[in-house]
A and B are shown apart, each in its own frame.
Chain A
Amino acid sequence: GAGVSQTPSNKVTEKGKYVELRCDPISGHTALYWYRQSLGQGPEFLIYFQGTGAADDSGLPNDRFFAVRPEGSVSTLKIQRTERGDSAVYLCASSKLAGTDTQYFGPGTRLTVL
């Protein structure tokens, strides 16, 4: 079946602009995760959804970052007033259940803030 998809694959924006990154998880997966991967580093956790609710948003770096999953499927990561330091690859993952169930990752969105 289809895997996790993310759009756009690349996003270039200017400092101070607003961006939205979309994640479409594997059908039937209840848990959805966002990670951020900076150059030369491993992915870092941002936020985790169980169904429609954000069960853990402890990884969001500040209040410019926000994510939603209104119908328990597609999720959108929103970044306000982008800064150059936000440039990274944003990865989305989903798993059938929460907990230690295997997380399946999408290809990521490469965000570049000029």
Chain B
Amino acid sequence: AQSVTQPDIHITVSEGASLELRCNYSYGATPYLFWYVQSPGQGLQLLLKYFSGDTLVQGIKGFEAEFKRSQSSFNLRKPSVHWSDAAEYFCAVPMEYGNKLVFGAGTILRVKS
């Protein structure tokens, strides 16, 4: 069955530092992959998605993610983190024709000044 693992529950980075959030997936075929962000009290906002083609995907707010089939990974990156990036980040993969998403447990990002 499809599954998503986000190994890091919490990550703290300094403002201006680079960021990488890890996501590993289990999926039978070429997956569709999503990253969502959730700020306190807010709904989930789509950062970026991978469907096919170029394995490096650009998203909103300066985020990017790279699909690596050999490692079953879809890590999220940002070259320079801003204090406003503090939030919880979720990786997700669709299950069974994409009619429902399976989410990882999330990574809480804290940004220190």
Contact = CB atoms under 8 A, between A and B. Distances in A.
B87 interface: no
Q: Is the interface of B mostly helix, strand, loop or mixed?
A: strand
Sorting the interface of chain B by its residue count into under 10, 10 to 19, 20 to 34 or 35 or more gives 20 to 34
Given A4-B43, A43-B44, A91-B44, A55 B99 contact: yes
Contact of B43 (A31, A41, A56, A107): A107
Interface stretch (B14-22, B66-74, B75-83, B100-108): B100-108
Given A42-B106, A45-B102, A108 B43 contact: yes
Nearest to B96: A56
A29 to B, nearest CB: 14
A41 B94 CA distance: 17
A93 B94 CA distance: 14
Contact of B103 (A31, A43, A108): A43
Interface string B36-53: 100001111110010100
Contacts of A48: 99-100
Given A41-B106, A42-B90, A44-B103, A101 B44 contact: no
27 contacts: A31-B99, A33-B100, A42-B92, A42-B106, A43-B44, A44-B103, A45-B95, A45-B100, A45-B101, A56-B96, A91-B43, A98-B99, A99-B97, A99-B99, A100-B32, A100-B51, A101-B98, A102-B34, A102-B46, A102-B49, A103-B46, A104-B46, A105-B36, A105-B44, A106-B43, A107-B41, A108-B43
